[in-house]
A and B are shown apart, each in its own frame.
Chain A
Amino acid sequence: MSLTRADVEKVSLLGRLLLSPEELDTMTTQLSQVVDYMNLLAELDTDGVEPMAHAVEMSNVFRADEVTPSLDRKAALANAPHHDDECYLVPAVLGE
């Protein structure tokens, strides 16, 4: 096992997922298998190789700095699970 259950639990918090105890167990086994497979990459010497983040090398894609119409508030809020016609509503973050 390249990952422990504690590792997986920590990653589930970072990834904002709440996993059940059963899911944590399965995930530990399955992620370990995949990560072991990924370790295949380690056998390659990549010293001096420039990382390739994108398939088409492009830089400085500019557009004119002009104000254009964007989503109005009503449309932006339309898909929100909870809103008050002005803001998105979420559970209290600070105190009660």
Chain B
Amino acid sequence: MELSATELHAQLTSGKVTSVEVTRAFLDRIAAHDGAVHAFLRVDRDAALARAAEIDQRRAGGAKLGRLAGLPVAVKDVLCTQGEPTTCGSKILEHFRPPYDATVIERLKAADAVLIGRTNMDEFAMGGSTENSAYGATGNPWDVTRIPGGSSGGAAACIAASMAPLSIGTDTGGSIRQPAGLCGVTGLKPTYGRVSRYGLVAFASSLDQIGPLARTAEDAALLLEVIAGHDAKDSTSVDRPVPDYHASARQPLKGLTLGLVREHFGAGLESEVEQAVREAVRVYESLGAKVKEISLPHGKYAVAAYYVIAPSEASSNLARYDAAHYGYRTPEEPMIARLEKEHAALEKAGNEKALANHDNALVRMYRQSRAEGFGAEVKRRIMLGTYALSAGYYDAYYLKALKVRRLIRRDYDEAFQQVDLIVGPVTTSPAFKIGEKVDDPLAMYLVDLYTVSANLAGIGGIAFPCGFSASGLPIGLQLQGPAFEEERLLRGAAMFQQATDWHTRRPHLR
């Protein structure tokens, strides 16, 4: 249980342990501790053990096995898996069983991974705390009264709590890196287009990207290698060769120049986070890296641009939940009865205008089903996006935000002329208390301050632990790199992890 995925893989390959033993150990850990953490929405113990046994048998028979043979992998409940419930943390998809596998699921199966369970998440991946799940919040394994970050909170918490060696998350505005930082694990958001999004339930299509969470950069490299690569089913996936990420991960980067962003160290950054980040930069310097101060002048507009673009795309993507094709529908009889009652009352009052605007049965079915099926945050974003795209506001908000997005990308392009990687904090503070920001959407949105720019620009980023707060909570470090330089990110993170031991610390779960 204390081994990394890479070490476990070596033991499986050499026959020291069987997949059934490994899988059972993680399942037992989930059974013992997930009551308190709630990282998982569903675990099918028998199916996982049967799959492990099948892989053991094939191994014993000398069959050629896939890259992850026998290793358990947890998957965020946002990737379609044929015949298995895929809820996205939403009530609207409570009974949804996809008729096909997402490409990432297909690749995990082909690599002989053991899919150990589905992890909890903010509904439709909208949120920074995993409090927006219709199935209850996840706790941070370091202190279960605190949030694990979001929206891949379950995906990060299960790694921190040693309930899975590897897991898959998605990152639209920081949803892999932010929970990785807050839970003290390693999470990589790949370049947009590096991993196929086919079968990923869409939130904001131009920003969403699937990526690995693990204990170490080396482990993340192993998982990325399996899921990355071109897919004809996703026309935004990029046709480029997939490097041998795992083989190169442990090679340090010689002559590395790191960029420290001036604007990252302004007001709002808690001093213990700043200290940990500056100490991490000194570690890099001791490893021979040069550090240069740079500026990303449009970074201060990133959150505003993001909260125009992401909800706009979401309002369009979530239009598919029409209560007709799939998903929850409100019971029809009481709905029709209520509608008729409203109609009669308007007629009696002689309110012609209201009568003309009154919902017909179909529109009311849409509106009522969606209102009952979606949670508060999803409704807020649909409303925001609908507003930003509506006539009269499109130019002022949506188009404007797309132009600012270009400026943010240009900042990065210029920065990467001078430095190899950008180093900085993941979040302004360690994990906050569950419930602390639920009534203040704007405060919650600002949690993604350091991560959203990478999604707008489409570049990659990695987060991993670089220290702890006085109260014992993990503090994360973020590296950002040019498009398609995942290898550089992974090597940069691994190089830090060879020199430090923050990533080896585990919470004590009672």
Contact = CB atoms under 8 A, between A and B. Distances in A.
Contacts of B366: 16
A6 interface: no
B403 A50 contact: yes
A38 B303 CA distance: 8
B63 interface: no
Contacts of B491: none
Interface in B82-108: 95-97, 99-100
Interface in A31-53: 31, 33-35, 37-38, 40-42, 44, 46, 49-53
A90 B407 contact: no
B235 A61 contact: yes
Contacts of A49: 403, 406-407
B13 interface: no
A80 B236 CA distance: 29
A16 B307 contact: no
B397 A38 contact: yes
Contacts of A41: 301, 304-305, 308, 397, 400-401, 404
Nearest to B374: A17
Contact of A42 (B319, B396, B409, B483): B396
B441 A55 contact: no
Nearest to A20: B371
A31 to B, nearest CB: 6
Contacts of A78: 97, 99
Interface string A1-26: 00100011001111111110001000
Looking at A27, A50, A80, A90, the one whose CB has the most chain B CB atoms below 10 A away is A90
B415 to A, nearest CB: 16
B365 A91 contact: yes
Contacts of B322: 16
For chain A, give the interface size range: 35 or more
Contact of B192 (A11, A27, A56, A91): A56
Interface string B385-398: 11110100000110
Given A42-B396, A79-B97, A12 B403 contact: no
B400 A46 contact: yes
Interface in B308-363: 308, 315, 319, 322-329, 332, 336, 359-363
Interface string B131-154: 000000000000000000000000
Nearest to B357: A13
A80 B300 CA distance: 44
A15 B315 CA distance: 7
A51 B370 contact: no
Interface string B435-465: 0000001100100000000011110000000
A93 to B, nearest CB: 5
Interface in B225-272: 232, 235-236, 238
Interface string A39-76: 01110101001111111101001010000000100011
Contacts of B402: 51-53
25 contacts: A15-B382, A15-B383, A17-B371, A17-B379, A18-B367, A18-B368, A23-B379, A27-B379, A31-B380, A31-B383, A34-B441, A34-B442, A35-B387, A41-B401, A44-B301, A52-B403, A54-B458, A55-B192, A55-B409, A55-B456, A55-B457, A80-B326, A81-B323, A88-B324, A93-B360
Given A41-B304, A56-B236, A81-B328, 8 more contacts: A11-B383, A11-B387, A16-B366, A17-B374, A18-B359, A52-B402, A55-B192, A91-B336
Interface of A: 3, 7-8, 11-19, 23, 27, 30-31, 33-35, 37-38, 40-42, 44, 46, 49-56, 58, 61, 63, 71, 75-76, 78-82, 88, 90-93
Q: Which 9 A-B pairs have the closest CB atoms?
A: A55-B458, A79-B326, A51-B402, A81-B329, A18-B367, A91-B361, A15-B386, A46-B403, A55-B192
